[in-house]
Structures are given as structure tokens and as C-alpha cells.
């Protein structure tokens, strides 16, 4: 049984790292499998002000670096691989990756979510050429230019405020006539002289020859279409999209119970398959934040330990 892990965790965002920390601390043979880099969505966030204890204004990357260090210290193994197939039924679970095959007594799915696109013509073609989903990654490219932020929730408004460090003007484009962000975040935005608002508007099309040059917006009340063209001296402007996320759960489609693409669990992170747990943004939940992701991961790891103890008589 030495080639079998106690717990395999898919994903190394806050949920996966918290699960790895708790599982390894319980002396379980643990591996965290990540296809790209540790951190998930939070590494694209400049400031994490609402995480308990983060009084020194930790950034997403710095917070994740601490989580990685803790997981490593407790002995969690971390590998880079992309899981392409899973066999979750039976006592021993089998996960097949592009590099290796992994066997485990329990599996924790912490695959997170990815940014939801607008879904309009021109968006895909101009992604990375003016269209972005990561303010911290691409904000500096728009020094002294105009930026349009699409969305009205916490992430959209927080990232719009961050982008004022670079842009000469940031316009928040929202489909409604009021923001959905927390009141404290809204207050900061309304007070910031660099932030403007385009209410009751959605992006219908993004245009440009190799770079964003204009976008067409529709008024959701009147139906009127307006084309916003880049300033002649600038030649371009930035479009940052924050309209929600899509769960990264295609790998498990048809294997576990889901709801609108999100994995269904009980309060203890159990999925519909014994020995398989889900944590973080990939599961059905009312609040997707770092604090709830880490809580999910901790619960999943503790429940996995109990499951292993009961099923394998440890």
C-alpha cells in the first residue's frame, strides 16, 4: 500500500492548500496536484482586506505563499500535473494525469472556478490584446490610459479601485443602476475621483485590429447601442472583465451530483460518492471567498481522515 496516497487533493488554491495542511498535519500521506501554479483566483488579487487577521493588507500572492509554506512544512507533497481522468468508485480511487497515475483512499476536489467571459463577439480574439480578467497581471500595461471594468460585484469594484493606480480614468460598466458590491467597497469607489460609472449597460461587441480599439455597449433600459472609441492619441483602452466565475468541474461531470456545474456536498464536504469530498469555489455554496474556501478545505481533510479510519480500519 506504500504506492497509495491517503489523500489526493486536486487543486492548490486556498481550499486545496488548507486541505493539504490539515491532512498532512494529521499524518496522512498527502499529495496536492495542480496543473499550473498554486493559488487559484486569489493570486490575481492585489489586496485581501477581508481575510481575518490580514491587518497588514496582505496581497493574494503573499497570502498564498504563506499557505504553501505551511502545507510544505507539515509534509504535504505538491506536484504539477493535469488530471485527465478519474475513477472514483470503490475503496481505492484512481486519478490519471498527463504525467503520472495516482491512487488514493480519499479524494478532495478543490478545482475552483475560472473567470466567466462576457460572451460577446471580439472578446476571445482580443483577449490579451486589451481584454483581461486579471487586474494585477495586466493593470500596468494601461499606464495613463482609460480602462473599462465590466461588472458590479465585490471583485469588479475592488479591481477597479486597484486599476486607478495605473489608469487616468476607470469606468465601471454595470448592467443595473446600482452596484452589488459591499457598501464599504462602494463608498470607496464613489469617493475616488478617477472612477466613473456607466449604468444599465452591457457590452455587445469588442472591436479592434490586433488590439482593442472600441466597444459597443447596449443600454438595458432603452436598447440603445453606443460605440465607445479609444481616444485618438491613445489608440486603445483596457477592458477588464469581472462578471463572475465558471466552476472547473468538467472532469467530474456525470460522476458526482452537481447543480448548475457546481458539485453538491453536505455541510461536511461529502459528495455523492463515499470517500470523495469537494471544497472551495467548485462546490455549491452561498459565499465564495478565501475565508470560506479555507474552511471548506479544513473540513474536507478532517472528514477524509475520519472516512479513512472507518473504511480502512486505521
Residue of 245, 205, 203, 239 lying closest to 116 (CA atoms): 245
Cell digits of residue 111: 478545482
Percent of residues, the chain, with pLDDT higher than 70: 96
Q: DSSP secondary-structure letter at 27?
A: T
Q: What is the pLDDT of residue 41?
A: 72
**Which residues make Cβ contacts (< 8 Å) with residue 121, sequence separation at least 6?**
204, 205, 206
Q: What are phi and psi of 36, to 5 degrees?
A: -125, -85
Kind of pairing between the strands at 101-109 and 93-97: antiparallel
Alpha helix (H) residue ranges in the chain: 14-25, 60-73, 135-138, 154-163, 183-191, 290-311
Categorize the per-residue pLDDT at 206 as very low, low, confident or very high, splitting at 50, 70 and 90: very high
Cα separation of 249 and 247, whole Å? 6
Categorize the per-residue pLDDT at 44 as very low, low, confident or very high, splitting at 50, 70 and 90: low
Known catalytic residue: 120?
no
Q: Which of 6, 81, 120, 138 is catalytic?
A: 138
pTM, 2 dp: 0.81
Q: What is the pLDDT of residues 83-135, one digit of tens each?
A: 999 999 999 999 999 999 999 999 999 999 988 999 999 999 999 999 999 88
Q: What is the average pLDDT score of the chain?
A: 93
Q: What domains are defined for the chain?
A: 5-115+245-311 (3.50.50.60), 131-241 (3.50.50.60)
**Residue 255 DSSP SS3:** coil
Query: What mean pLDDT is predicted for residues 44-48?
Result: 69
Residue of 129, 118, 120, 171 lying closest to 147 (CA atoms): 171
Known catalytic residue: 72?
no
Q: What is the pLDDT of residue 196?
A: 98
Amino acid at each position: 500500500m506504500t504506492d497509495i496516497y491517503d489523500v489526493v487533493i486536486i487543486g492548490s488554491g486556498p481550499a486545496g492548500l488548507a486541505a493539504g495542511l490539515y491532512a498532512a498535519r494529521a499524518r496522512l500521506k498527502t499529495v496536492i496536484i495542480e496543473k499550473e501554479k498554486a493559488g487559484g483566483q486569489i493570486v490575481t488579487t492585489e489586496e485581501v482586506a477581508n481575510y481575518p487577521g490580514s491587518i497588514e493588507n496582505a496581497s493574494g500572492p503573499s497570502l498564498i505563499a504563506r499557505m504553501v509554506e505551511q502545507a510544505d512544512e507539515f509534509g504535504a507533497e505538491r506536484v504539477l500535473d493535469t488530471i485527465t481522468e478519474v475513477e472514483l468508485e470503490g475503496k481505492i480511487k484512481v486519478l490519471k494525469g498527463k504525467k503520472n497515475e495516482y491512487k488514493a483512499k480519499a479524494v478532495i476536489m478543490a478545482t475552483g472556478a475560472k473567470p466567466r467571459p462576457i460572451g460577446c463577439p471580439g472578446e476571445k480574439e482580443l483577449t490579451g490584446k486589451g481584454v483581461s480578467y486579471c487586474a494585477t497581471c495586466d493593470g500596468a500595461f494601461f499606464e495613463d490610459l482609460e480602462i473599462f471594468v465590466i461588472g458590479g460585484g465585490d471583485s469588479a469594484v475592488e479591481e477597479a479601485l486597484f486599476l486607478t493606480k495605473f489608469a487616468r480614468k476607470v469606468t465601471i460598466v454595470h448592467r443595473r443602476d446600482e452596484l452589488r458590491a459591499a457598501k464599504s467597497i462602494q463608498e470607496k469607489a464613489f469617493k475616488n475621483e478617477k472612477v466613473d460609472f456607466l449604468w444599465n449597460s452591457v457590452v455587445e461587441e469588442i472591436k479592434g485590429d490586433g488590439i482593442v480599439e472600441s466597444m459597443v455597449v447596449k443600454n438595458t433600459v432603452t436598447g440603445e447601442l453606443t460605440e465607445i472609441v479609444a481616444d485618438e492619441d491613445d489608440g486603445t483602452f483596457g477592458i477588464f472583465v469581472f462578471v463572475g466565475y465558471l466552476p472547473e468541474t468538467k472532469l467530474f461531470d456525470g460522476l458526482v451530483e452537481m447543480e448548475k456545474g457546481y458539485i453538491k456536498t453536505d455541510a461536511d464536504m461529502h459528495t455523492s460518492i463515499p470517500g470523495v469530498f469537494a471544497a472551495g469555489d467548485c462546490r455549491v455554496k452561498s459565499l465564495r471567498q478565501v475565508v470560506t474556501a479555507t474552511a471548506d478545505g479544513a473540513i474536507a481533510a478532517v472528514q477524509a481522515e475520519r472516512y479513512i479510519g472507518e473504511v480502512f480500519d486505521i
